[in-house]
Chains A and B, each alone.
Chain A
Amino acid sequence: MSYLSIEFGLIFVVFFAIYWALRLLPKSQNNLLLISSYLIVASYSFQFAVILFFYTCAIYFFSVMIATSKYHAKRWLILGLSAAIINLALFKYFDFFRYELQSLLNYLNLSILLPVITVLIPIGISFYTFHSVSYLVSVKNKELSVAKFWDLALFLSFFPSIIAGPINRAKTFLPQIVVSKPREVLEPFRAFTLIILAIIKVYCLGGLISENWVTPIFSNPLEYCTLDLLVGLYAYAIQIYLNFSGYTDLVTGIALLLGFRLPINFNFPYLATNLRDFWDRWHISLSHWIRDYIYIPLGGSRHGFVRTQLNVMLAMLLSGLWHGAGINFIIWGSCHGIGIVFLNILDRYVGRGWIVQRSPIIARLLTWHYICFTWLFFCCESLTDALDYLNALCHNFLVDSHYIGVFIIICIVFLMYPICKNIPNWCTAQLSKINSIFLPVFFTLILWLTIYLAPSGVPNFIYANF
């Protein structure tokens, strides 16, 4: 069930009423949340809910073993992490590697037909795997005691963040579940702002950009001129940002209305002046997760310059591979890795922030274009598609342009973008000033306009596939 569908909206209003009717009983609220979360997972497929439940049991078992075992805690942790990763890899990558393995077997003339698993990738599996890793590590580091089974189950299945993040940390999220005193709605005006912004971003702007600019250009890049192809790349970069950050806004708003706080996931990523800065602003919960659970355990920057660059490369490759099994995602990851390594080298030999100090706008422009270039591999289904696009980008100078107006619009938006920085806070402040009697009218007007302008159909959440 999509969180932007009519059904979800209606059910949520009812759910909200029941949830807060139980205000004095946080335990019952937890149970309600747990049941609803499982129902949402089961609305995709009943199997998914069963898989999630067994996974929760396994993680609970490992956490108990880690906490109780005096001498083998580390072994249990490794075992638990391996189990989690293997589970994820089997579902996500088996099909991809089956092809490679099969062609290898064929090449070696071994007549073995590999079995075929026709199970769908369970919804949210990436995200609950990340959640569980942070939980197991926290238990091992004695930051947390073993959670009660049902609390853990809610932590892993919490519906706002199970589909596409943000990635919660057990250390900050489990205490929010295990409260004894009544919960309160947190920052209602910020929640409203986030939800309305989300609908505008995903439904209206993202939908329009995708339908009018991205889809036509990407469907046959060879037909278009260089300028149009640039517009296509820019538009995709904008669309994926609007889609994903809008989704994050939506679930963060929903969680606030339920009295939970989710980690920040986006901080105006296209204002970044270098690639490292970008990863501090884009999908923050993922980049921090990768930093804490991959980059630092690999040795981080403690083993010299060369080793650091290797670690960066490896972390970025894994990040790429996480987004999907396929050569394009590996290229995407390595582009980011190479970019950061290059930046590190530049910092070491030329000086940190050499470009930024001289011209922040050029730094921003360069970063933006590099990121747009990497999105090309992210967006295209196959390497040949991406290469076709690049080829056309480099050769179609003489074809007539259809999107010159759009190009100018995007340039203006790019220059104006720093002003947008305060929009969410400004909106929150303005909303809080409106008399609460007029709020429904105001919301209705805004949403009416948004839905009226938006293309028909509920847009997909791009990141729900990962």
Chain B
Amino acid sequence: MKYKKTLSKNRRKNRPKKIEKQNRVLKNNTTKNIKRVQKKSEKLDFLQNNQATFSAKNIFILLFITGIALIVIFHRSVLIYWQQTYHSDFLNSGSVTQEIIREDFDEPSNEILLGAPATIIEQNNYLNDANIQLRKDVLIFLQPDIIEIKKNNKHEQIHTQSIQDNKEVTQLSNNTNESVKDQVTVSTDLDTQKVLKHDIPLIHEPLPIVLTENDKVFFAGDSLMQGVAPYVKKMLFKQYKIESIDLSKQSTGLTYPNAFNWPKTINDILITDPSIKLLIVFLGPNDPWDFPVKGYSKYVKFKSPLWEQQYRLRIAAILNSAYEHGVQVLWLAAPCMRKSKLNDGMVYLNMLYQSEIEKTQQHFLTTNQLLGCTYEKFNSFIESDKEKIKVRVDDGVHFTPTGQKILAKAIMDKITFKELEGNDSD
């Protein structure tokens, strides 16, 4: 039908030309036209023949080859997708069991003690990518004294490398004590000598978050944040004219830096936009899975000491780059989840977030009370005598708009606005 239409259009268009133009042109035109018509009819025949001969078998071969070719081309993305979706290595399925980890675990630490730290440095490749040097331990004690740390910056950079290595050693060798508190003290032990004089205000109340109109807020996180951030963005702008950047992305977390590297992204953004003064982080549900660690052939089991150590490093990397840029952090706890396994994962992850946050004296916002549930009992509703307000959607993970607004308000409550002095024009 369509061909006929276009053909007739061509004819109609060409007719007046035939009359107007000279013979030669006319000849040309008509021959062209005839050719065109021939071509089109050929095309039609060809189309019909081809359609008839193009059997299901050919299509299967076609689909098969195309599929294989695409998988080969995108094999890296496919592997990352597989990792994110099924939380295992496609090629080496299954993850390391706890026993194997223990064995594996002792080996590298011994190696390092014997003076071969290469493998461990490799482990932190992604951190090096982000140009983040781990000065976590130093920071904990120096934090109240910002000027001091800046003076010492160069000096520190030199010896942090060694601190880093040393710390790894101590952490690794002591990691068999699974207690978190132990780890903290052990990892800090090393530096106490150097920075003991700053050690007095160990438990500090985090400084209140005060923003002015010129400051920006930066949202990082997963789909939970994607729901909440727009509301906060709007409230910030409506109430205080504060602009914000929302880079939250679904299915992201700290577990698979190959798929999305939050420490690096955050560091990059903080470098490019110095007006950011507050970083709000909300993630977790994509993280309670085994992940690969360089130097280990198999996936490291969730909640194992090596896992915890790696994960803590990632949290610390974020907090560290925030600190370097003078940015405050507000970290939202992952709330209760309907699925008990996921819920247990959240309890554990929150413990890591909270302890790291407390070390750097930043803000940690627990979300359960706001949403009317506990880790022991999931509830999609905030219940009162009078009504039930639905705050979670039916997947038992995400929030309803009402739930998002509640969290957004809680975030807003944490922020104090300060008028700029001498800003009379507004």
Using a CB–CB cutoff of 8 Å, the interface residues on chain A facing chain B are 6, 9-10, 12-13, 16-17, 20, 23, 95, 102-103, 106, 113, 116, 118-121, 185, 187-189, 216, 218-220, 222-223, 257, 381-382, 385, 388, 422, 425, 429, 432-433, 436, 439-440, 443-444, 447-448, 451, 456-457
Task: Kindly state the separation between the CA atoms of A456 and B250 in the bound complex, as whole angstroms.
Answer: 10
Please tell me if the beta carbons of B62 and A432 are within 8 angstroms of each other in the complex.
no
The verdict on B154 contacting chain A, using a C-beta distance below 8 Å, is: no
Please tell me if the beta carbons of A432 and B51 are within 8 angstroms of each other in the complex.
yes
Q: B residues within 8 A CB of A185?
A: 54-56, 59
B59-72 vs A, CB cutoff 8 Å, 1 = contact: the mask equals 11111111101110
Task: Kindly state the separation between the CA atoms of A436 and B66 in the bound complex, as whole angstroms.
Answer: 12
With contact pairs A23-B56, A448-B70 given, residues A219 and B230 touching in the complex (Cβ less than 8 Å): yes
> Separation in Å of the B92 CB from the closest CB of chain A?
19
Task: Kindly state the separation between the CA atoms of A223 and B249 in the bound complex, as whole angstroms.
Answer: 21
Q: Which residue of A lies closest to B40 (CB)?
A: A429
Task: Kindly state the separation between the CA atoms of A457 and B66 in the bound complex, as whole angstroms.
Answer: 20
B38-50 vs A, CB cutoff 8 Å, 1 = contact: the mask equals 0000010011001
Task: Kindly state the separation between the CA atoms of A352 and B77 in the bound complex, as whole angstroms.
Answer: 55
Please tell me if the beta carbons of A443 and B47 are within 8 angstroms of each other in the complex.
no
Please tell me if the beta carbons of B46 and A432 are within 8 angstroms of each other in the complex.
yes
Q: Given contact pairs A436-B54, A439-B62, enumerate 4 new A-B contacts (beta carbons under 8 Å).
A: A103-B387, A218-B230, A451-B74, A457-B250
> Separation in Å of the B162 CB from the closest CB of chain A?
38
Please tell me if the beta carbons of A220 and B230 are within 8 angstroms of each other in the complex.
yes
* 8 closest residue pairs by CB, A with B: A20-B56, A440-B65, A120-B394, A444-B69, A219-B230, A220-B233, A443-B66, A432-B47
Please tell me if the beta carbons of B78 and A6 are within 8 angstroms of each other in the complex.
yes
Q: A residues within 8 A CB of B246?
A: 216, 219
> Separation in Å of the B379 CB from the closest CB of chain A?
10
Consensus secondary structure, chain A interface: helix
Q: A residues within 8 A CB of B238?
A: 222
A-B contact pairs, 29 of them (CB 8 A): A6-B78, A10-B67, A13-B64, A16-B60, A95-B390, A113-B387, A118-B394, A119-B394, A120-B395, A185-B59, A189-B50, A216-B246, A218-B230, A222-B234, A222-B237, A223-B237, A385-B234, A388-B234, A422-B6, A425-B2, A432-B46, A432-B47, A436-B62, A440-B61, A440-B65, A440-B69, A443-B62, A444-B65, A451-B77
Please tell me if the beta carbons of A440 and B66 are within 8 angstroms of each other in the complex.
yes
Q: How many residues of B contact A (CB 8 A)?
A: 50
Q: Which residue of B lies closest to A460 (CB)?
A: B250
With contact pairs A185-B56, A222-B237, A429-B47 given, residues A457 and B251 touching in the complex (Cβ less than 8 Å): yes
Q: Which residue of A lies closest to B243 (CB)?
A: A223
Please tell me if the beta carbons of A451 and B59 are within 8 angstroms of each other in the complex.
no
Task: Kindly state the separation between the CA atoms of A457 and B259 in the bound complex, as whole angstroms.
Answer: 10
Q: B residues within 8 A CB of A120?
A: 394-395
The verdict on B105 contacting chain A, using a C-beta distance below 8 Å, is: no
The verdict on B57 contacting chain A, using a C-beta distance below 8 Å, is: yes
Q: B residues within 8 A CB of A188?
A: 51, 54, 59
Q: A residues within 8 A CB of B237?
A: 220, 222-223
Task: Kindly state the separation between the CA atoms of A385 and B231 in the bound complex, as whole angstroms.
Answer: 10
Q: B residues within 8 A CB of A16?
A: 56, 59-60, 63
The verdict on B375 contacting chain A, using a C-beta distance below 8 Å, is: no
Q: B residues within 8 A CB of A116?
A: 381, 388, 390
Task: Kindly state the separation between the CA atoms of A113 and B50 in the bound complex, as whole angstroms.
Answer: 66
The verdict on B244 contacting chain A, using a C-beta distance below 8 Å, is: yes
